[in-house]
Amino acid sequence: MAKADTEFVFAPVAPVVLAVAGREAVFPVHRIYCIGRNYAAHAREMGHDPDREPPFFFQKAADDLTGAGFMHYPAETAELHFEIEMVAALGEGGERIAVEDALGKVFGYGVGLDMTRRDLQGEAKKMGRPWDTGKSFAEAAPCSRIVPVSACGHPAGGAITLDVNGARRQTGDLNEMIWSVAEQIATLSRFFVLRPGDLIFTGTPAGVGAVQRGDRMVGEVEGVGLLEVEVV
Ligand code: MN
């Protein structure tokens, strides 16, 4: 890590940050972890048996985040899919965190979109290759401001929805998660050193589908807030 007086050969990229509801201070983002197939109905729509799979995770780059309210249609895809997700934002990290201690590491929650180049992801799955080109690209992770736990608690139930151009496309309830937020943190911390600033995209309910330029997505997580993103 750089010290306060480190001299760089060129200016480093500025840290990625998210706004925090009710605070001037912003949330500095470290990594973005995402869980796969965490709602049974979505696992089924992707052709998998939700009962038999232990949780698995992939990452997006921190600078895939955007809080701008719009995203550019990405390169090299003809199938850009939305996945509305609740985002858990860690204020503390750790390794081998017990499930009972996990929620104590959460600073707050947000509303995110795990945008996916589904055609590239599908090709990668077929070839047994990594998912990175399907999942991690510029503006692949639109995210709302973070609401501190002091304001929203730890949402374990409530509607999670996504509308596209005013029509309901995704709907589910946070209580349908196969692996809870606490279980996700505990599992991730066995494989990775979690850090303050890590975000966890906690999975999407059924109904994923494609958007085009000009489409307007409005996601909502009950008790956390709204996320509005236009594809441009
Ligand atoms: Mn997802």
Q: Residue 47 has what pLDDT?
A: 87
Checking if the pLDDT of 65 tops 90, the result is yes
User: What's the CA-to-centroid distance between 166 and ligand 1, angstroms?
Assistant: 22
Confidence of residue 54 (pLDDT cuts 50, 70, 90): confident
Domain ranges of the chain: 21-231
User: Residue 192 gets which letter from DSSP?
Assistant: S
Per CATH, the number for 21-231 is 3.90.850.10
Q: Residue 58 has what pLDDT?
A: 98
pLDDT in tens, 165-220: 999 999 999 999 999 999 999 999 999 999 999 999 999 999 999 999 999 999 99
Q: Residue 216 has what pLDDT?
A: 98
- Rounded CA gap, 39 and 138, in Å? 26
User: What's the CA-to-centroid distance between 204 and ligand 1, angstroms?
Assistant: 5
Q: Is 137 left (phi over 0), alpha (psi -120 to 50) or beta?
A: beta
User: What's the CA-to-centroid distance between 87 and ligand 1, angstroms?
Assistant: 11
> Would you say the pTM of this structure is higher than 0.95?
yes
Checking if the pLDDT of 51 tops 80, the result is no
Confidence of residue 31 (pLDDT cuts 50, 70, 90): very high
User: What's the CA-to-centroid distance between 1 and ligand 1, angstroms?
Assistant: 30
Tracing tokens 């959460």 back to the chain, one arrives at 106
CB atoms within 10 A of CB 173: 15
- Rounded CA gap, 66 and 44, in Å? 29
- Rounded CA gap, 83 and 181, in Å? 17
Question: Mean of the pLDDT values across residues 119-130?
Answer: 97
Checking if the pLDDT of 125 tops 90, the result is yes
End-to-end CA distance of the chain: 37
Checking if the pLDDT of 2 tops 90, the result is no
Which residues neighbour ligand 1 (ion) by CB within 5 Å? 83, 114, 204
User: What's the CA-to-centroid distance between 12 and ligand 1, angstroms?
Assistant: 30
